[in-house]
Structure 1
């Protein structure tokens, strides 16, 4: 399970890297697909997560992941809103 969380953490790093480079919808879709796969696997192992959730290692990893998600949301959401408003104005 820790390995899946580490993969999720690495995927967040990939998203941050993509965000800091020139936008590529293909790369974004690829990372998004990785997110979906990892989250589905974590969801299927939900019982294991419940058993291990008090482990300090899990707590630290989840806190790190949540902090990265918050940071990425703050960086990406304004861009996403801009793209959305631009695409609406084109239609």
Structure 2
């Protein structure tokens, strides 16, 4: 991974953890937001909006089901940003 990719990955994780109100060491790339971290649909929308603001991108709400864990969030954000 490049330094830029590492930086983006760290920023995404920071945003998700802040919204879910958990520590970064409590989440893995594959832990599920709803099942493992008790997130609700409002939190998912908050994550989406925060990512849009942080990276200056637009993410369709239809992508929310794919954003069930950090891997999915990275994927959707990268696609929207064209990384």
Regarding TM over 0.5, the answer is no
Rg larger in structure: 1
The structure, 1 or 2, with the larger RCO (C-alpha pairs under 8 Å, 6+ apart) is 1
TM-score (norm 1): 0.28
- TM-score, normalised to structure 2, is 0.30
Q: Which has the higher helix share?
A: 1
